[in-house]
Amino acid sequence: MKSNKNLIFDAQHIWHPYSSLVKPSSIHEVVSAEGVRLSLADGREIIDGMSSWWSTIHGYNHPRLNDAAKSQIDQMSHVMFGGLTHQPAVDLVRKLIDMTAEPLQYVFLADSGSISVEVAIKMAIQYWFAQGFTSKQKLLTVRNGYHGDSFGAMAVSDPENGMHSMFEQVLPKHLFAPAPTCRTDEEWQDSDIAEFRQLLIDNQQEIAAVIIEPLVQGAGGMRFYCPEYLRQVRALCDQYDVLLILDEIATGFGRTGSLFAYEQAAICPDILCVGKALTGGYMTLAATMCSDKVVNGIATDGTGALMHGPTFMGNPLACRVACASLDLLLESDWQGQVQAIEQQLTNELLPYQSNEIVKEVRVMGAIGVVELHQPMDQYMDWLSEFIVDQGVWIRPFRNLIYIMPPYVISSEDLSHLTTAIGAIIDRLSL
C-alpha cells in the first residue's frame, strides 16, 4: 500500500528526467540494491543493464565504498573549498593525475559531468581572453554529440538531432562538423575529416577549442568511431593552435576497454572532463583536468584565477568515495572483465542483426547497442513495464536499445540482459 501511495504522489508531483507531469511515464520504486540487482517495492528483482546511467561500475552496495562513505561522514561531510582544502581532495587529485596522461597535472573538482564541461569551456575561452585574443569565443565540435544539460553544455551538443532544439535561439552559436563515420582505422579516408578541417581553417581566429567525445558518442546516438579520427583532430588542433577538450564523462575509467578512450589514439587532450564512474555511482562528482599550457595561458593576465566556484566543489564525502572507487578499479581485473563483456555482447547481440526491424548491432568494450530502423516513441507506454517483466532494467531511447552493465556482472546475468533485448525486439516486431 505504501508503495502505491508513493507512486501516486510521485506521478503527481515529482519531475523525472525528460518526463512530463501532465503525461507521466511509468515509474518503478526501488527499495534497495545489491551487486547488479535492484529490488523493487512490489517484490520483484531486476538486473540493472544501465549501471545507473553508466556510473555504478562496481555494482551496488559495495562494502569498500560503503566503508569509505561511513568513515568520512564521521569526520566531515562537507566544507567549502574556497580557501580550504582537505585530505580526500588531495588524495583524489593525486590519483587522477597518476592515472591520466602526464601533461594533465591540474584538476578542478566539479559537481557533475555537465558542470565539468562548463568549466572546460570557460577554461578555453579564458585561456585566449587572458592573452588578448578576445575574438576566440567559439567552439568546434561534431554532430550527434552530447555534453550535458546545462546551457554551455547544451550549446556544444547537436543542435538539430539533440534533446535541446527548443533552446536554440538562446544558446551560443558554435560550429558543427559532420559526425565521424569511420569505424576502424582500416576504413579511414581523409574525406572523413575534410569538412572539420575546413571549418577550422575558415574560423581559426574565432575558435577557442574543439570539444569531442572520444571514440563513443553517447546520449547523442551511441555512435562509435575510429581512433584515427581523434589523431587527425589532435594534429589539426596543434596545426591551427586551438585547444582540444575531450569529454570522457561516459567513456572514462575503462568503459571502452582502455582506462581512457584517448589512450587508444595515443593522444593527450589539453583539457579532459571526467565524471559518472568517478565515484562508482555513489555520489555526484566530476573533474576537469588540464595541462601547463592551459594554466599558463589563463595566467597571462597576471592573475590566473579561473572564474568558477560551485558551492559543493571538492565535497569531502564524494572525494573520499571516489578515492575508494578508483583504488577498487585499479586493483581489479577491470580489463579482463570489460573484454569478457565485449566478447559476450558480440556473440549474443550480433544474431539480432538479422531481424528486419534492426538497422545495426554494435559493441565496444562494455557497451552494447542495437539500433532499430524506427524510433520507439509510440511504444513507450507499455515498453517500460514489458522490460521490467523480463527481470531487467534497460532504458531505450529513440531508436536505440543499449546496455552498459557494471563491470562485475556475471556471464549469466549478462545473458539475461541480452535475452531480454531479444524479447524486446521480438515484441516490437509483432
Beta-strand pair 37-40/45-48:
antiparallel
Residues 273 and 245: beta-carbon distance below 8 Å: yes
Tell me which CATH code domain 2-58+333-429 carries. 3.90.1150.10
146: annotated active-site residue: yes
Which among 317, 352, 331 has a CA at the least distance from the CA of 407?
331
Q: Return per-residue pLDDT of the chain as tens, 430 residues.
A: 566 899 999 999 999 998 888 988 889 999 999 999 999 999 999 999 999 999 999 999 999 999 999 999 999 999 999 999 999 999 999 999 999 999 999 999 999 999 999 999 999 999 999 999 999 999 999 999 999 999 999 999 998 876 677 888 899 999 999 999 999 999 899 999 999 999 999 999 999 999 999 999 999 999 999 999 999 999 999 999 999 999 999 999 999 999 999 999 999 999 999 999 999 999 999 999 999 999 999 999 888 899 999 999 999 999 999 999 999 999 999 999 999 999 999 999 999 999 999 999 999 999 999 999 999 988 888 999 999 999 999 999 999 999 999 999 999 999 999 999 999 999 999 8
Task: Give how far Cα 99 sits from Cα of 119, 253, 382, Å.
Answer: 21, 10, 44
Model pLDDT, residue 168: 83
Which residue among 60, 95, 111, 146 is the active-site one?
146
Would you list the DSSP string of 75-108? T-S----SS---HHHHHHHHHHHHHS-TT--EEE
Q: H or E element: which one contains 197?
A: helix 191-203
Whole-model pTM: value is 0.97
225: annotated active-site residue: no
18: annotated active-site residue: yes
Which residue among 95, 136, 138, 276 is the active-site one?
276
> What residue spans define the domains of the chain?
2-58+333-429, 67-331
Task: Give how far Cα 408 sits from Cα of 32, 38, 415, Å.
Answer: 18, 15, 14
Model pLDDT, residue 3: 67
Which residue among 48, 111, 247, 413 is the active-site one?
247
Q: What's the CATH fold of domain 67-331?
A: Aspartate Aminotransferase; domain 2 (3.40.640)
Which residue among 2, 18, 74, 190 is the active-site one?
18
Mention every residue, 6+ apart, whose C-beta is less than 8 A from residue 260. Answer: 100, 101, 214, 248, 251, 252, 253, 272
**What's the CA gap between 65 and 50, in Å, rounded?**
19
Which among 222, 155, 266, 228 has a CA at the least distance from the CA of 403?
222
Model pLDDT, residue 149: 93
95: annotated active-site residue: no
Beta-strand pair 243-247/207-212:
parallel
Helix axes 63-73, 316-331, angle to 10 degrees: 150
Model pLDDT, residue 127: 97
